Structure 1
Amino acid sequence: MHHRLAPAQSIVTGFGVVLLIGTTLLLLPIAATGTPATPVEALFTATSALCVTGLVVVDTAAFWSPFGIAVIAALIQLGGLGIMMFAALVGIALARRMSVRARLNATAEAKAFGEPNVRRLARNIFFTSICIEAVVALILIVRFMVGYGYELGQAIWHGVFHAVSAFNNAGFALYSDSMMGFVDDPWLGLPMCAAIVLGGIGFPVLRELAREWRRPLHWSMNTRIVLPGTIALLALSIAVVTVTEWNNPDTLGELDPATRVLAGVFSAVQMRTAGFNSVDVGAMHDQTLLFTDIMMFIGGGPAGTAGGIKLTTVAVLWFIVWTELRGGAAVNIFGKRLSRSVHREAISVVLLSFAAVAAATLALLAMTEFTLDQVLFESVSAFATVGLSIGITADVPEAGQIILAMLMFLGRLGPLTLGSALALRERRIAYELPKERPVIG
């Protein structure tokens, strides 16, 4: 009897197959400028690119050849777009139709179970990605040519790569110091920040804003949570980073006031989900790093290129707590009652995510000499697919790098998706047990 994969299993399998292909391509001698990559270097880089993270164990600009960088860019685009969504687009292009299985897989990956027209959904996601990346790439290309004297081909190469990396919240850069050489350039930093934010709020929000931007009362609960939540967390992050690092001579302190503000804005945007940096993250104050841990863990909007546990998950937990404090019987958000299954899903995501980060942190502490704050930062960055680093990733032993790669894979797919894929079968119980409750608190 032919066994058909469930949507969650198809998503995990698709990512696994593409990861294997990407790793194989990066192992080829043509992918490196000198000595070919080791299996762990190739696997880690492919995972980081496909999971749109940005953590690296080798210098992207110096180690990889143009072929290797092209493979990384392709993996970033596939990871941001989604393997199942890409497969759906290929199916539409070749056969002009989609099977029921392809529709289920695509909607499961895009978190769009209520979408009646999957073909239109796939096309909208594709064209939204391409259009935003094209606009940002054009701005970067012009800036590289006019401001830095790049030749047209070199400007296109750098502009397109960084636009793709920014919109997909990947954080890969073609410079050994990431974007630190452009800390005072708003014509590069701000367009990249805009691309990161647009990619991070999620395709459902972008699509709804395009259709209903004049009628906020018609917005869905998802958009009402993600849009103001994104604005609030960005404002808070900008204020915290700029204030705490203002006089730090190793980060913002030696810059002129206008550049300090620009660097503060750029750094605040990155900590939500992208991995570029225009100042030395490892030199930031402890309070800034702890705040960054929290922002990375929260992440961006669902069904986009952002990582973390997502803004909607945090919002649901907050409303659950608020309802409990007020003694309410049901959790209501914006005039709608929240399903109890959403309660369980949010709690499960947070607990499983916390457990994954904690387990990885303990393992890395046991095998390295790094401090808790250093290891925790790398673990959260990997799980939240952010890619910010305090500079220890390459010094972690290979076993630790594999752990970080597993965290990236788990973070990109989500603990519930991966757990559902690993489950042998879905259990349906036709009875309920008697209720009883332990003492809480």
Structure 2
Amino acid sequence: MAVRALQPRGRFDRRSWFGRLRGAAGGVVRSSPSRFAILVFASLILVTTLLLTLPISRAGEGRGTPLHDALFTAVSTICVTGLATVDMATHWSPFGNAVIFIGMNIGGIGVLTLASILGLVISRRLGLRAKLMAASDSNPSRVHAGPVAERQAVRLGEVGGLLATVAVSTLTIEAVIVAGMIPSVLAKGYDFATSLWYSAYYSVSAFTNTGFNPNPAGPVEFVDDYWFQSLLMLGVFLGSLGFPVIFALARSWRTPHRWSVHVKITLTTTTILFVAGAAAFLLLEYANPKTYGHLDAGPTIYQSFFMSMMTRSGGFATINMHDLYGSSQLVSSMLMFVGGGSASTAGGIKVTTLAVLFLAAFAEARGAPSMEAFGRRIPRDMLRLSVSVVLWGATIVAVSSIVILQITKAPFENVLFDVISAFATCGLSTGLTADLPPSGTYVMAATMFMGRVGTVTLAAALAASQRRQLFKRPEERPIVG
């Protein structure tokens, strides 16, 4: 008894079940933060699935949702994808909508940031490896051994500030968008309580790049309200930039020369893709009578920019994706595959990955010994990592497409579009996903999970350890091209 009395208060007995559980969890956090992050994400999906299968989560009929639909919705919610096999506006009860609403916010925080926060709670402090994982998406070399020459968007000493920025920026941006949307929803004849709910739902769905709709008609109901659509675009844009970029802009928005290469590349590539995507949709769809052919010049230009933003990962649509010309579907698939910025609520291979590949091609064409951007040299190992990300992403899309094609026998262009949308956690659909059989929903759910967790992080989690090779083999060059 005397020994117990001398123990400091607030500490758990290591022999208790909670102490052993906490010790085991802390060991996982310290040994492999990436595996812990995936475990946390999978656990959140499991809990959300169980909640959505309850009868209280379904509207009207008093019986629960089938497991495959509940699992698919849970994965789409936590992975902030936006694809659905049920009518999101009518299928769920207030309790089910609350689960989805909370799940979108949790998923929007991001798998690595969430894992770091939970790791902090468990171990009471962030170890060096956990800090590396928290700062990882600001620098894609998170799993690469060796020094990094260029400045990082978020340094190790700033991880605490990054985590605070995640929470503050999320709440602030969503609150501002909610306040701006309420008048537009009220103008459609809804009462204040419904307007507040719809605005909050759309705000969260936009900033997290999910794309779920709370009303049966979706954004089509606001197709003539450019203010409402502009707020949707703003939320999607800010969510797709990435928290490290928001963190850097919040600190030094008046001094662009102090921005890191990551921030500059993200902003530059995002702007280029946004404008190029809008130009492509304008050129390809201006004469399509099912999409923009019946619109005047001004609305056509605006809707082209809206579509360009949403195909990057937003998931909202004012037209039927099935009505797009095949050329426009291909452009949409390309934009979805690229996605948004690192450590953002967007999916895809990320704009920095695409930028590194183009910088490498440009340097090779000039015969330059290294890649350069904004007066900084980018190590060549970043090219190797970028190629790995693209190959892993392309492999996931290819395998999933083959399996879905075999299951559904649907047209290839529709399958490819929806599979890329699932991998890139975009949420746009040609209508294929809603008609999938249970086996197809499981395949698409796995595709969404792998796309959201991240190909590099998934590969790092599956690797038992990184080996160091203390010798080099003789060099020989194969014929390429």
TM class by shorter chain equals over 0.9
State the match for 1:49 in structure 2.
77
Residue 16 of structure 1, aligned match among 42, 45, 59: 42
Q: Which residue of 1 aligns with 2:150?
A: none
TM-score, normalised relative to structure 2: 0.87
Which amino acid counterpart does residue 120 of structure 1 have in structure 2? G
Structure 1 residue 256: deviation in Å? 4.2
Alignment of 1:28 onto 2:58: no
Q: 1: distance between equivalents of 2:37 and 2:123?
A: 22
The answer on whether the counterparts of 1:56 and 1:393 sit within 8 Å (CA) in structure 2 is yes
Shift of 1:415: 0.9
Q: Distance in 1 between matches of 2:374 and 2:130?
A: 34
Q: Is the 8 A contact 2:252 2:259 kept in 1?
A: yes
Match of 1:296 in 2: 336
Does the CA-based 8 Å contact 2:154-2:244 persist in structure 1? no
1:403 to 435, 443, 446: 443
The answer (yes or no) to whether the contact 2:154–2:162 under 8 Å persists in 1 is no
After TM superposition, the structure 1 stretch with the greater mean CA deviation from structure 2, 261-270 or 301-310, is 261-270
Partner residue in 2 for 1:62: 90
Q: Deviations over 1:195-222 (max 9, x none)?
A: 1001101112222222222322222111
Percent of pairs with identical residues: 37
The total of aligned residue pairs comes to: 439
Q: What letter matches 1:141 in structure 2?
A: I
Instruction: Name the residue aligned to 1:98.
Output: 125
Per-residue displacement from partner, 1:374-404 (whole Å, max 9, x unpaired)?
1100111000110100111021222221111
The aligned counterpart of 2:179 is 138
Give 1:190's aligned amino acid.
S
Structure 1 residues 358, 96: closer, same or farther in 2, change over 3 A? closer
User: How far off its partner does 1:99 sit?
Assistant: 3.6
Amino acid at match of 1:362: I
Larger CA Rg, structure 1 vs 2: 2
Change (3 A) 1:55 1:91: same
Measured in 2, the distance between the counterparts of 1:185 and 1:87 equals 39
Q: Which position in structure 1 is the counterpart of 2:295?
A: 255
SS of residue matched to 1:271: helix
Q: Tell me by how many angstroms 1:293 deviates.
A: 0.7
1:363 paired residue among 403, 426, 442: 403
Cα deviations by residue, 1:249-286 (Å, 9 ceiling, x for unpaired): 21122334443333222212100111111111110111
- Conserved 8 A contact 2:137-2:342: no
Deviation at 1:240, TM superposition (A): 1.6
After alignment, is 213-222 or 69-78 more displaced? 213-222
Partner-residue secondary structure (3-state), 1:70:
helix
Partner SS state of residue 141, structure 1 = helix
C-alpha contact (below 8 Å) 1:84/1:102 kept by paired residues: no
2:51 counterpart letter in structure 1: L
Query: How far is 1:362 from its partner?
Result: 1.2
1:432 shift after superposition: 2.1
SS in 2 for 1:119: helix
| CA drift at 1:36 | 1.8
Residue type of the partner of 2:382? V
Instruction: State which drifts further: 51-60 or 325-334.
Output: 325-334
Q: Which amino acid aligns with 1:98?
A: R
Question: Residues 273-352 of structure 1: matches in 2 within 5 Å?
Answer: 273-352=313-392
1:121 maps to: 162
**How much does 1:421 deviate?**
1.0
Match of 2:213 in 1: 173
The amino acid that maps onto 1:204 is P
For residues 37 and 403 of structure 1, what CA distance do their matches in structure 2 show?
Answer: 19
1:435 matched to which residue of 2? 475
Q: What is the deviation of 1:334?
A: 2.2
Question: Could you tell me whether the CA contact under 8 Å between 2:274 and 2:309 is conserved in 1?
Answer: yes
Give, as a single letter, the amino acid of the residue that structure 2 aligns with 1:27: T
- SS state of the match for residue 301, structure 1? coil
Gap regions ≥5 residues in structure 1: none
Alignment of 1:79 with 2:119, yes or no, is no
In 2 relative to 1, CA 419–113 (structure 1 residues): closer, same or farther, beyond 3 Å?
A: farther
2:197 counterpart SS class = helix
Alpha-carbon distance change, 242 to 20 in structure 1, aligned in 2, over 3 angstroms:
same
After superposition, the CA RMSD in angstroms is 2.1
Contact between 1:183 and 1:279, CA under 8 Å: does it hold in 2? no
1:83 shift after superposition? 4.4
Could you tell me how far apart the structure 2 residues matched to 1:27 and 1:120 are? 38
Contact 1:184 1:263 in 2 (8 A): no
How big is each residue's C-alpha offset from its partner over 1:331-381, in whole Å with a ceiling of 9 and x where there is no partner? 222222222321111010011111110111111111212111111001110
> Is the Cα contact below 8 Å between 2:131 and 2:156 reproduced in 1?
no
